[in-house]
Chains A and B, each alone.
Chain A
Amino acid sequence: MTDMSLPQTRGRSRAGRIALRWLLYVILGLFALYYLMPLFVMVTTSLKSLEEIRTGDLMSLPRDVTFDAWATAWSGACTGIQCEGVRPFFWNSVLIAVPAVLLSTLIGALNGYVVAQWRFRGANLIFAAMLFGCFIPFQVVLLPMARLLGLMGIAGTIPGLIFVHVIYGLGFTTLFFRNYYVTIPSELTKAAKVDGAGFFRIFWSIFLPLSLPIIVVTIIWQFTQIWNDFLFGVSFSQAGTQPITVALNNIVNSTTGVKEYNVDMATAIIAALPTLLVYVVAGKYFIRGLTAGSVKG
């Protein structure tokens, strides 16, 4: 990135410039508060007792910090009739996301490698067709997919959800790798061919070692997409296989008993934690995925 800061216009007094600078920071700070406020509310609410929630106000810090709500959220909250907390659903999400992310990334890498480095007649058309798949509203495939999963006997199962996520993730993963691999000179492939290496050898020995950044970008993108998915989860799962987003929604909207806002918030944070963690640790790659998925798509 280039440094493109513009110097302040001439003719303004030094004091004026400093005041303007302060104003700038104040505005930016206020916006930061705006973006942080819901997270702050979630965390503080999750640490308050129900009693304190009813009497206190939204913005105040908890008087007595209690982790009861977290414990309930993890292992006791009710989703409909079951009251096992969010734990089994958290693991469902893990069991769905991990294989789906790895599979779609691997296939996307191979696809991108073919489209970028082994061009053949029609390869670009195939790529365009796949890219197009990224943009359809998934509502249009929900009904036939539900029937197909039924026919395949994996309706309402975790493998069924993995399958769906891999299929509809391929467009993006292929796009990521294709855009990365087109920047690698084709002479590299040629040199390796002359050296006697074949399709997979070239991929494994030359392209894969070069791909770490794009692998990270793709994995983060896919993980965020799949972990945060609700539509496929709610459409294609059943009681025991629901991902955490569906469970969270069920807990929040369950109408039985007293409304436990602190438990709702703790559950929401638990559901958000993995992707937030990824974001904090690898934010750079997260942003690259977001912009690559939109600017180049």
Chain B
Amino acid sequence: MAPILDIKGLYKNYGQVEILKDINVAIDPGDFLVLVGPSGCGKSTLLNCIAGLEPITGGSLHIDGRDMTNVSPKDRDIAMVFQSYALYPTMTVARNITFGMKVRGVDAATQDRKLREVAQQLQIEQLLSRRPGQLSGGQRQRVAMGRALVRDPKLFLFDEPLSNLDAKLRVEMRTEIKELHQRLNASMVYVTHDQIEAMTLATKIVVMKGGVIQQIGTPSEIYNTPANLFVADFMGNPAMNLIPAKASQTGGETRIEIARKDGAPIVLTDARTRDLPADVIIGVRPEDIAEPGFRASQTAQHAECTVDIVEPAGADTFVVMQMGGKQVTARLHAETTARPGQVQQLAFDLGKVSYFAPDTGQRLN
């Protein structure tokens, strides 16, 4: 299958400043690609480059096999939803949605038919004669989606489309976008700084930082085998515990020793990993530290820890401890008996453990 979007060696400079460095991404038709990263990482710039709104400094960009490197946005067969929605303030909702078709000279009957279809799909039929100023945030968002949908493009681009909505609406719209993607089987590129949005929506995630791609993978790859410390820390909430530790080879096993301020170090053994350097950073997701008997797997190993803080969060209770000079969070069940200041028996599951080199931050296993 030919990639619908293929970016090779893309560079983007503003004057002397490199904004994007050697970007290589390809997605297949039907993929939902999410570009995620902290603000200023270049994700929005990359989206604008894909749209043709920013010229690129180097490299090439193909959409559905056509070289689009120097093609203007209108000829790229794309549609875009913006963070501020960018609805044309003086036009009605209907005209907002049909403006693109009107510009392209689509006949009135087709315009009207497509408008009805999209309006029905998004349940905005009753809003068609209103102006953007008379709509709520969620309604504006729908209209912006409608403007993109009506075009039936090769590629949908979304620039943080949910960030201006309140929390509840954001979750609703997230589900709706996912549903839309499944129904249309369309190819989408979606920019967000919200890692939960990235995990829930994507079929493929690109994690970016400082204009450089950190990792490309499926949500589960990104979550379970982060390529470096940055990705490990950025994806997941609460964040992955990244604990400095000492590693040593004993027979067929690797022995991991985590220092503690008070008392003996925690010693864990990992039979599946070999040849680690002496200094490592061990990455453990909070859910991989549990009470013995809960979610415990074959590889779980027990240790006693002094709990500092207990944070009930409804479905789960998080407890925070000191280990290897870091705060370590564990996700316990809601009715845990853990109390601040008390010693708690915990099970460490090393089945999905990550190891990173402290100096380079790169993944070791």
**Are A and B co-members of a single complex?**
yes
- Interface of A with B (CB < 8 Å)? 185, 187-188, 190-198, 201, 205-206, 209-210
Additional A-B contacts beyond A191-B88, A194-B53, A206-B90 (17; CB < 8 A): A185-B84, A185-B86, A187-B84, A187-B86, A190-B51, A193-B53, A194-B74, A194-B78, A194-B80, A195-B100, A195-B147, A196-B103, A196-B104, A197-B74, A197-B100, A209-B91, A210-B89
In this complex, the member of A190, A193, A198 whose beta carbon has the largest number of chain B beta carbons within 10 angstroms is A190
Q: List 5 A-B contacts (CB under 8 A).
A: A185-B86, A195-B151, A197-B99, A197-B100, A205-B88
In contact, B53 and A190 (Cβ under 8 angstroms): yes
Smallest CB-CB separation from B80: which chain A residue?
Answer: A194
What is the CA–CA distance of A206 and B90 in the complex, to the nearest angstrom?
7
In contact, B51 and A206 (Cβ under 8 angstroms): no
Interface residues of B in 29-57 (CB under 8 A from A): 48, 51-53
Given A194-B73, A197-B99, also A187-B88 (CB < 8 A) = no
What is the CA–CA distance of A190 and B48 in the complex, to the nearest angstrom?
9
What is the CA–CA distance of A248 and B291 in the complex, to the nearest angstrom?
97
- Cross-interface CB contact of B86 among A190, A196, A210, cutoff 8 Å: A190
Given A194-B80, A196-B100, also A206-B73 (CB < 8 A) = no
In contact, A193 and B84 (Cβ under 8 angstroms): no
What is the CA–CA distance of A34 and B74 in the complex, to the nearest angstrom?
62
What is the CA–CA distance of A119 and B156 in the complex, to the nearest angstrom?
26
- Cross-interface CB contact of A210 among B48, B51, B53, B90, cutoff 8 Å: B90
**Secondary structure dominating the interface of A:** helix
Smallest CB-CB separation from B105: which chain A residue?
Answer: A196
Please name the 6 residue pairs, one residue from A and one from B, whose CB atoms are nearest each other, closest first.
A195-B100, A196-B74, A209-B90, A191-B86, A187-B86, A187-B82
**Chain B count of residues within 8 A CB distance of the other chain:** 26
In contact, B74 and A205 (Cβ under 8 angstroms): no
Smallest CB-CB separation from B76: which chain A residue?
Answer: A194
What is the CA–CA distance of A210 and B131 in the complex, to the nearest angstrom?
13
- Interface of B with A (CB < 8 Å)? 48, 51-53, 72-74, 78-80, 82-84, 86-91, 99-100, 103-104, 147, 151, 157
> Across the interface, which residues of B come within 8 angstroms of A187, CB to CB?
82-84, 86
- Cross-interface CB contact of B80 among A185, A188, A191, A206, cutoff 8 Å: A191
> Across the interface, which residues of A come within 8 angstroms of B78, CB to CB?
194
What is the CA–CA distance of A192 and B74 in the complex, to the nearest angstrom?
9
What is the CA–CA distance of A201 and B73 in the complex, to the nearest angstrom?
15
> Across the interface, which residues of A come within 8 angstroms of B89, CB to CB?
188, 210
What is the CA–CA distance of A206 and B80 in the complex, to the nearest angstrom?
17
Q: Closest approach, in angstroms, between the C-beta of B88 and any C-beta of chain A?
A: 5
Smallest CB-CB separation from B72: which chain A residue?
Answer: A193
In contact, B86 and A193 (Cβ under 8 angstroms): no
Smallest CB-CB separation from B48: which chain A residue?
Answer: A190
What is the CA–CA distance of A196 and B79 in the complex, to the nearest angstrom?
10
In contact, B82 and A206 (Cβ under 8 angstroms): no
What is the CA–CA distance of A109 and B147 in the complex, to the nearest angstrom?
28
> Across the interface, which residues of A come within 8 angstroms of B73, CB to CB?
190, 193-194, 196
What is the CA–CA distance of A192 and B48 in the complex, to the nearest angstrom?
13
> Across the interface, which residues of A come within 8 angstroms of B87, CB to CB?
191
What is the CA–CA distance of A192 and B103 in the complex, to the nearest angstrom?
10
In contact, B74 and A190 (Cβ under 8 angstroms): no
Q: Closest approach, in angstroms, between the C-beta of A16 and any C-beta of chain B?
A: 48
> Across the interface, which residues of B come within 8 angstroms of A210, CB to CB?
89-90
What is the CA–CA distance of A188 and B87 in the complex, to the nearest angstrom?
7
In contact, B80 and A190 (Cβ under 8 angstroms): yes
In this complex, the member of B78, B83, B91, B100 whose beta carbon has the largest number of chain A beta carbons within 10 angstroms is B100
In this complex, the member of A185, A188, A193, A194 whose beta carbon has the largest number of chain B beta carbons within 10 angstroms is A194
In contact, B53 and A192 (Cβ under 8 angstroms): no
What is the CA–CA distance of A197 and B100 in the complex, to the nearest angstrom?
7
- Cross-interface CB contact of B82 among A191, A198, A201, cutoff 8 Å: A191
What is the CA–CA distance of A193 and B53 in the complex, to the nearest angstrom?
8
Q: Closest approach, in angstroms, between the C-beta of A145 and any C-beta of chain B?
A: 39
> Across the interface, which residues of A come within 8 angstroms of B90, CB to CB?
206, 209-210
> Across the interface, which residues of A come within 8 angstroms of B147, CB to CB?
191, 195
What is the CA–CA distance of A156 and B299 in the complex, to the nearest angstrom?
98
- Cross-interface CB contact of B88 among A190, A193, A206, cutoff 8 Å: A206
What is the CA–CA distance of A197 and B73 in the complex, to the nearest angstrom?
9
What is the CA–CA distance of A23 and B192 in the complex, to the nearest angstrom?
62
> Across the interface, which residues of B come within 8 angstroms of A194, CB to CB?
51, 53, 73-74, 78-80, 100, 157
What is the CA–CA distance of A267 and B89 in the complex, to the nearest angstrom?
46
In contact, A192 and B51 (Cβ under 8 angstroms): no
Q: Closest approach, in angstroms, between the C-beta of A118 and any C-beta of chain B?
A: 12
In this complex, the member of A193, A198, A210 whose beta carbon has the largest number of chain B beta carbons within 10 angstroms is A193
> Across the interface, which residues of B come within 8 angstroms of A193, CB to CB?
52-53, 72-74
Smallest CB-CB separation from B54: which chain A residue?
Answer: A190
> Across the interface, which residues of B come within 8 angstroms of A196, CB to CB?
73-74, 100, 103-104
In contact, A195 and B53 (Cβ under 8 angstroms): no
In contact, A192 and B88 (Cβ under 8 angstroms): yes
In this complex, the member of B72, B82, B86, B89 whose beta carbon has the largest number of chain A beta carbons within 10 angstroms is B86
Q: Closest approach, in angstroms, between the C-beta of B199 and any C-beta of chain A?
A: 26
